[in-house]
Amino acid sequence: MSSIAVEKARQVHKRHPGLSFPVDMEWVAVAEGCELLNWPFTEPVREMKQGRWIGIAEGLEERERRHLIAHALAHHLMHRGNQLSFHGWQRISRNKQEKEADECAAHILIPAAELARVKEMPLWELADHFGVPEELIKQRMTVFASQEEKAGWQLAHEGH
């Protein structure tokens, strides 16, 4: 787990306190100095980042679009250079930068404080509340959960 990825996501929420959910990623990306472009990419390219420019494939479903913008913003916050992403949950290997961007994006979209408030909701409702794919909620609550969260959830579970 990358604590840098989680910290970068925390800083975004510190710079823009009081964001409502689902997070308005287009607004946040622009506030963080990025420019968004809709681009007619051909499959499997969904998102591209070059400098401060974020290109997102046209015609994507809203939740996927939000997730891709968060992912590109995460690269912007953590990595230099350009990233071209071939997105898909079934991808077997993702390099270190891609994993860091995925983790940071999960924490931008689903920050710890809000998750703690609503985590008793069923999965579909959490996905609805945060406006993200259900798969991202699952990842956020497993591989991308912070140590503190894991410890807290374990205690709550044992308490039942």
Peptide bond preceding 17 in cis form (omega within 30 of 0): no
Rank residues 107 and 126 by Cβ distance to Zn ion and give the closer one: 107
Query: Which range touches Zn ion (CB under 5 A), out of 54-62, 94-102, 104-112, 126-134?
Result: 94-102
85 near Zn ion (CB under 5 A): yes
Q: Cβ of residue 20: shortest distance to Zn ion, in angstroms?
A: 26
Stretch that binds Zn ion, among 27-35, 81-89, 122-130, 138-146 (CB under 5 A): 81-89
Residues in contact with Zn ion, shown as a per-residue x/- string from 95 to 114 under the rule CB under 5 A: ---x--x-------------
What whole-number distance in Å separates Cα of residue 99 and Cα of residue 56? 19
Output the CA–CA distances (angstroms, integers) from residue 87 to 91, 92, 99, 146, in the order listed: 8, 11, 12, 24
Give the gyration radius of the chain's Cα atoms: 15
Q: Which residues bind Zn ion (CB under 5 A)?
A: 83, 85, 98, 101
